[in-house]
Chains A and B, each alone.
Chain A
Amino acid sequence: MKILVCISNVPDTTTKVKFTDNNTKLDSTGVQWVINPWDELALTRALELKDNPASGVKGVTVAHVGPASSEPTIRKALAIGADDAIRVNFEPTEAYQVATQLAEVIKNEPFDIILCGIESSDYNGSTVGSMLAEFLNAPSVSAVSGLNVENGEATITRDIDGGKETVSVQKPFVAIVQKGIAKEPRIAAMRGIMQARTKQIKVVEPVGVSPLTELIEFEPPKPRAKCIFVDAENPKQLIELLQNEAKVI
């Protein structure tokens, strides 16, 4: 049984976001690129499952749609412990294109479980995983906060509004994972970093797909009004302001 983890290459979550080219492009000067946090947790969980012989999981592959410049991020996933990687040589502008390319990869090389993060921390679309499942005509489970596999059978915990459900689903399936799927992201050890150098990154050429959406421009957030400070000796004043000025209580 094999797991595919789809990874996105995103600016580190502490990046000061700035734009260039009339606010149509991220200014990538000084940006540190990392594995999208949820994808990193997905990878961690896939490796935990593989570590447990009772799971029946034999291999963990990562897939990424992006140019050669994102290979350091793929290497990092290999160093953390993925067995091998696939990169589709394509620079997507939106999720529909990413899902189209990933679906082609999986049609050519099937996997039993496909993991995607709930969103990428850059575009925040929450769409790739479910789009991919629809392209594959496979079931998808969203908001997954727990995944267990025993003898190849998966049990999934998903969040619903106001609670949790335990579900099972036919394979192959796409699980779209979030907080809870793994505790802490696994960190690459020295040995893993050495091994990653010789692991394979298979590069595949893209299929043609036109985007359905088009970015017109980015807009930096509007600066908030300056904070009004209330004296710590008189917290009551805060309640008055919230009641009479902001009118929120």
Chain B
Amino acid sequence: MSVLVFAENWDGNFKKLSFELVSYAAKVAEMTGTTATALSIGQVSDDELKKLGNYGAKKIISLKSDLLKNLDSQAYTAAIAEIAQNEGAKIIVLANNNMGKSIAPRLSVRLKAAIGSGTNKLPQSIDPFVVYRKVYSGNAFAHVKLNSEIKILTLMQNSFDPVETANEASIEEREVSIDGALVKTQVKDVQKQTGKLLLTDAEIVVSGGRGMKSPDNWGPLVELADLLGAATACSRPVSDEGWRPHEEHTGQTGKIVAPNLYIAVGISGATQHLAGVSASKYIVAINSDKDAPIFEAAQYGIVGDAAKILPQLVNAVKEVKAK
């Protein structure tokens, strides 16, 4: 018995999300009286793999098969299911990101395992096994009981703090019995954003809405984001109008983010926008309309003209930084 956690890598490196997952799995393992085993797929060095041990994995399994070079949902599902079965894993943890969402439901069918998707907390109880998750796009939460022998959990990014522990983990390179005919996805082309902080990874996000008035007014918002080490985002009409790139669109139909701080500038706070940002720890709103619904979701607010306020915030951050 064990808790198996799938730790995705990015060009051979892990990131905070990987450590959140492993720490979460280690905690769930502790709750169920077992240990966490981390699974890595791809070319990852032993030094990098060892890092998973620092967050509580007792064993690290590494699959380096060429057949798993690109994400093919069937091949990945077969590989993870095989390891889960060999390890006798009763709980499997994945990230609730693009990768996790494309595999976890398939694993659920293959292993007849109930899935608690997009949870942001530790299980509420182990027997019965009850998880807590967001529903109705953040307008409610649900307590859901998982009734199968094997259980799958997908964890929201930035919802569990990584915990470093002194721990020696063993690393095992393994082979799985997948067959080339299983791989039905061919990757033709990859376009990566480079050198930019990913919106979903950011701990601070500065976001602009239609109240920014024009695509030419973004200078101080971007400067504020740079000074704070933040990613930039926007509301849907802003990306629809082409003022900002589509990758920045947050909300129900765009990216769902949960940073520590979300600064909404000139955003009214429509339910569909809040659906993507309501899990943020702090929301700050800057809006000229004191009755804008965004103020109901915000902890801090300024009623005023964004064009005037942003440059002053930039200066204030510069002053603080200079100290």
| A135→B109 contact, CB < 8 A | yes
Residue A28, interface by CB 8 Å = no
CA of A213 to CA of B112 in the docked complex: distance in angstroms? 11
CA of A92 to CA of B101 in the docked complex: distance in angstroms? 21
Residue A214, interface by CB 8 Å = yes
CA of A180 to CA of B236 in the docked complex: distance in angstroms? 12
Residue A47, interface by CB 8 Å = no
Given contacts A169-B186, A239-B317, contact A130 B102 (CB under 8 A): yes
Least CB distance from A172 to B in Å reads 10
Chain A residues near B106 (CB-CB < 8 A):
130-131, 133-134, 140
Least CB distance from A155 to B in Å reads 8
Residue A141, interface by CB 8 Å = yes
Contact of B140 among A142, A169, A219 (CB under 8 A): A219
Least CB distance from B157 to A in Å reads 10
Least CB distance from A31 to B in Å reads 11
CA of A91 to CA of B68 in the docked complex: distance in angstroms? 38
Residue A43, interface by CB 8 Å = no
Contact of A227 among B139, B186, B298 (CB under 8 A): B298
CA of A118 to CA of B118 in the docked complex: distance in angstroms? 13
| A214→B282 contact, CB < 8 A | no
Q: Nearest A residue to B107 by beta-carbon distance? A: A134
Question: What's the interface size class on A, roughly?
Answer: 35 or more
Least CB distance from A43 to B in Å reads 15
User: A132-162 interface mask toward B, CB cutoff 8 Å, 1 = contact, 0 = none?
Assistant: 0111010111110000000000010011111
Residue A95, interface by CB 8 Å = yes
Chain A residues near B313 (CB-CB < 8 A):
235-236, 238-239
| B249→A179 contact, CB < 8 A | yes
Residue A33, interface by CB 8 Å = no
Chain A residues near B187 (CB-CB < 8 A):
165-167
Residue A215, interface by CB 8 Å = yes
Given contacts A121-B137, A123-B135, contact A213 B192 (CB under 8 A): no
CA of A174 to CA of B103 in the docked complex: distance in angstroms? 13
Contact of A212 among B96, B147, B228, B246 (CB under 8 A): B147
User: B283-299 interface mask toward A, CB cutoff 8 Å, 1 = contact, 0 = none?
Assistant: 01100000000011111
4 nearest A-B pairs in the assembled complex, by CB-CB distance: A232-B304, A142-B102, A212-B114, A130-B105
14 more contacts with CB within 8 A, not counting A123-B135, A227-B295, are: A99-B109, A126-B105, A126-B118, A139-B185, A142-B73, A162-B196, A178-B253, A216-B142, A221-B138, A231-B302, A235-B309, A236-B315, A236-B316, A238-B316
